Amino acid sequence: MRIAIVNDMLMAIEALRRSIAKRADWKLAWTARDGAEAVNKCAADTPDIILMDLIMPVMNGAEATRRIMRDSPCAILVVTATVEGNMQLVFEAMGHGALDVIKTPVLGADGKLAGAAELEGKINIIGKLIGRGKQQTPALVAMGNAMADNNHLPPLIVIGSSTGGPAALLEIFRALPAGFPAAIVVIQHVDISFSADLADWLGRQSPLPVNVAEPGCQPEKGIIWIAGTNDHLIMTAERKLAYCAEPKGVFYRPSVDVFFHSVAANWAARGLGMVLTGMGRDGAEGLLSLRKTGWRTIAQDKETSVVFGMPKAAAECGAAQEIMPIDLIAQELISYVVRTE
């Protein structure tokens, strides 16, 4: 894979160069010292992946991501040391199409790289997403049988999202009323280091509280839970949320498919499942399993998706009953809950 570096700090560039040099199948495409230079270089020579910093002179990484995804799209991983106080820019970049975010590896005085293994893992995942590796479909994890009594279960809405997901989720949540009479659980592809920040960012702009799911918590009306680790969030037979390392071979962590399959197996009542913007196919098979158990299923449309990968896969396999633009989805959630009460 050809990988570009966009960063204004010489030490960070050197750390990223060394990280790339560890793999014979990775090549440095070019470097840029600010976002504007990156936009121009990407237009002339589009790499497979860009490692994009956030805070830079001339043009920041979020704006550079927006322009690159508009004019010469490619996979972008935000790699930055300046996370504190800049979460707005992190999720702005992800809203424009950055796939994930990770902290910059640090080059120590002894010449050793701290954080290089984590960066390599992220690049490997992105390589698979863009066709440089075999994608895997997760098997349904055995989780017991759901109890038949569903009289006391709240209406449940489950959402899977990835590239562009933070902005899409925010648009939906902003339009829901305070005290919304349904439980909501979200699987957003984001690293464990940033899941709490994502929940805080969404919660500060939403009428509903947004929390990171803790092991043993239960879906409740009027509360949004977001997966918060690099393990898979699952629904147990006791209708509680838990985390599970299996299946280990699935590179989407947390996986939308794994969660949706567990909900189909263990949530006795029906609900509404949806797949939003994102690269890859995660969520399609899980959404299909929900539809087969009688759930209402939706996928975001191409026109409003930053990347029409996950919704397209859900549509092609027959998992989505309806394809909808993002601005109509919140009203559909409200209407669905009214119909089922």
> Contacts by 146-149 with C-beta closer than 8 Å and gap 24+?
146/237, 146/239, 146/265, 146/266, 146/267, 146/268, 147/237, 147/239, 147/268, 148/268, 149/268
- The residue count of the chain comes to 341
Q: CA–CA separation, 64 vs 187, rounded Å? A: 26
Question: Which class for 146: exposed (0-12), middle (13-18), buried (19 or more C-beta within 10 A)?
Answer: buried
Question: Which class for 204: exposed (0-12), middle (13-18), buried (19 or more C-beta within 10 A)?
Answer: exposed
Handedness of CA 296, 302, 308, 314 (dihedral sign): positive
3-class secondary-structure state, position 147: coil
3-class secondary-structure state, position 102: strand
Question: Which class for 31: exposed (0-12), middle (13-18), buried (19 or more C-beta within 10 A)?
Answer: middle
Which residues, 6 or more positions from 277, have their beta carbon under 8 angstroms from its beta carbon? Answer: 161, 162, 163, 164, 165, 168, 300, 304, 305, 306, 307, 308, 310, 311, 326
Q: Is there a contact between 140 and 286 (Cβ–Cβ < 8 Å)?
A: no
**Eight-class DSSP state of 133:** S
| Known catalytic residue at 162 | yes
Q: CA–CA separation, 112 vs 132, rounded Å? A: 28
Selecting among 282, 289, 301, 305, the annotated active-site residue is 282
Q: Is there a contact between 232 and 261 (Cβ–Cβ < 8 Å)?
A: no
| Known catalytic residue at 231 | no
| Known catalytic residue at 189 | yes
Q: Is there a contact between 304 and 272 (Cβ–Cβ < 8 Å)?
A: no
Selecting among 96, 189, 232, 261, the annotated active-site residue is 189
Selecting among 19, 162, 289, 305, the annotated active-site residue is 162
Q: Is there a contact between 298 and 322 (Cβ–Cβ < 8 Å)?
A: yes
Q: CA–CA separation, 66 vs 321, rounded Å? A: 31
Catalytic (active-site) positions: 162, 189, 282
